[in-house]
Amino acid sequence: MEKKTPLYDTHIKYGGKIVEFGGFLLPVQYGSGVKAEHMAVRTQCGLFDVSHMGEILVQGERAKDYLNLILTNDFTDLKPGFARYSPMCNEDGGTIDDLIVYMKAENDYFVVVNAANTDKDFAWMVEHKIDGVDLSNVSDKWGQVALQGPNADKILHKLVDDKYIPAGNYTCVFDGDFQGIQVMISRTGYTGEDGFEIYMPADKAADVWEMLIEAGKEDGLIPCALGARDTLRMEAAMPLYGHEMNDEISPLTAGLGFAVKMDKPDFIGKAALEAGQPLTHRRVGLKVTGRGILREHLDVYKDGKIIGHTTSGTYLPFLGSSYGMAIVDSEAREIGSSCQVDVRGRMVDCEMVKLPFYKREK
Amino acid sequence: MNTPKELKYSRDDEWIRYEGEEAYIGITDYAQSELGDLVFVNLPEVDDEVVAGEALGDVESVKAVADVISPVSGVVLEINEDLLDDASLINSDPYGSWFVKVGSIGDNVELLSADEYEEYRG
């Protein structure tokens, strides 16, 4: 049975159109629609319920060694109050999940994983646990909202003292105070805009939501849902687990080499990733130059031959055009070259382009 | 839900407006609302045949694609090229945004009155 997040009743109240996602009942859009929600995040601000995400505590005197073993990124120099993104690989170099590690203190880490993968991840982490590490899945205890957009900083400052608001990208403040509610605030997100992710006890999620909506009204804040979350992450070319990567697609193929530290002494999947070089397939961006909308799982052709398939695709509201991402033969992957995508029997012309499609001005 | 009385409706959520021997076809207010922000339309070409109960084209929103099912059999006389440039016209004015004008009309699927359609989708 699908679970409800602590904000389910709030979504109904705000007119959310509810769908099942990752085992949870969540809104796909509110009354204003996906395009308006998308544009609000790019130009003003949007508020998302992301309570479905999983939270796992990694604690103990060997916590850092353990993270370095099971994750591809390097946590040796991560400091308290900072966050770091990483894929987690299986022995074959496939991707079990991608996640964010927040360092609270020495030997104390807070790991946030994809909703649909929480149980799988936790089982894998327990299976590969080493002595001196304690793991706990605290997903049900936490609610989480994402406040995203150029006005996010201004809106949050109306409710939270500056000392609890993380200043730098990928930093976080544990034990913050949000109008009397104990919260963790990180300067992270999944939209390509500036913004925050705010974690609170599940029973306080609705209070935090209502206070943010009220405080943000005059700065254009509107509730946003899964539909816009997907178009926003697509526009920023952020990979989505189950699309750009999965148990069989390595993070290198997915273009996440920046978070795979092959110079670390060892980590699960390293040998397979080394053996898989040079890469036979890689992720690429596609811009539609003909007429049509790309979706996932479509064949990509070049010179009449199939060279790969799309992993995501849609109309991107801010750029005002149709784009997709695909995993294609490395040899056929040439930025600026043209290819065709089979959209339900119709060949649609595309151009291979650099990622991301959209990058905010800083 | 907006359901003009002078139109006929199919259970696939298309509307049809007869003008003598010819007819205009579009999708209903209910359909555009369910699909959400429309971003793309695929239309047949003039002189193409359409068949009652079969797809004459499709519409795509940000999240989904849906076939547009022809309520009648016939031949396409005209297509609404404005929709090719701006599919959001369908969201703002579903009954003004006809997809095709059809002539030589033969069969049709079961058509509902406005009241029947409202009860069906109500």
Contact A294, A313 (CB under 8 A): yes
In the predicted model, what is the mean pLDDT of residues B47-72? 94
Mean pLDDT of chain B: 95
The pLDDT value recorded for residue B107 is: 92
The pLDDT value recorded for residue B122 is: 83
Partner-chain contact B37 A35, CB within 8 Å: yes
| Local confidence pLDDT in tens for the 362 residues of chain A | 789 999 999 999 999 999 999 889 999 999 889 999 999 999 999 999 999 999 999 999 999 999 999 999 999 999 999 999 999 999 999 999 999 999 999 999 999 999 999 999 999 999 999 999 999 999 999 999 999 999 999 999 999 999 999 999 999 999 999 999 999 999 999 999 999 999 999 999 999 999 999 999 999 999 999 999 999 999 999 999 999 999 999 999 999 999 999 999 999 999 999 999 999 999 999 999 999 999 999 999 999 999 999 999 999 999 999 999 999 999 999 999 999 999 999 999 999 999 999 999 87
Contact A187, A99 (CB under 8 A): no
Full set of structural domains in chain A with CATH = 3-48+140-235 (3.30.1360.120), 280-353 (2.40.30.110)
Specify whether domain B8-108 bears CATH 2.40.50.100: yes
| Whether the predicted pLDDT of B55 surpasses 90 | yes
**Nearest alpha carbon to residue B40 among A265, A346, A140:** A346
CA angle in degrees (0–180, nearest 5) for A299-B64-A13: 145
Confidence of residue B58 (pLDDT cuts 50, 70, 90): very high
Contact A170, A101 (CB under 8 A): no
pTM for the full model? 0.92
Interface subset of B 11-50, CB within 8 angstroms of A: 36-37, 39-40, 42
Burial (CB count within 10 angstroms: exposed 0-12, middle 13-18, buried 19+), residue A192: buried
The amino acid sitting at A111 is V
**Nearest alpha carbon to residue B13 among B1, B30, B25:** B30
Interface subset of B 63-122, CB within 8 angstroms of A: 63, 65, 84
Closest CB from B58, B63, B84 relative to A227: B63
Measured CA to CA, the distance from residue A172 to residue A78 in angstroms comes to 12
Measured CA to CA, the distance from residue B64 to residue A164 in angstroms comes to 41
The pLDDT value recorded for residue A362 is: 72
Measured CA to CA, the distance from residue A199 to residue B29 in angstroms comes to 40
Which residues of chain A are at the B interface, by a Cβ-Cβ cutoff of 8 Å?
28-29, 33-36, 227, 230-231, 291-293, 295, 314-315, 317, 322, 344, 346
Partner-chain contact B60 A291, CB within 8 Å: no
Mean pLDDT of chain A: 97
Residues 6+ apart with CB under 8 A from B16: B7, B8, B9, B10, B23, B24, B25, B71, B72, B108, B111
What's the Cα-to-Cα distance from A296 to each of A306, A308, A326, A342, rounded to whole Å? 15, 12, 8, 11
Domain ranges of chain B: 8-108
Task: Mutate one of A35, A232, A240, A343 to test the B interface: name it (highest B CB count within 10 A).
Answer: A35
The pLDDT value recorded for residue B63 is: 79
Closest CB from A34, A291, A292 relative to B62: A34
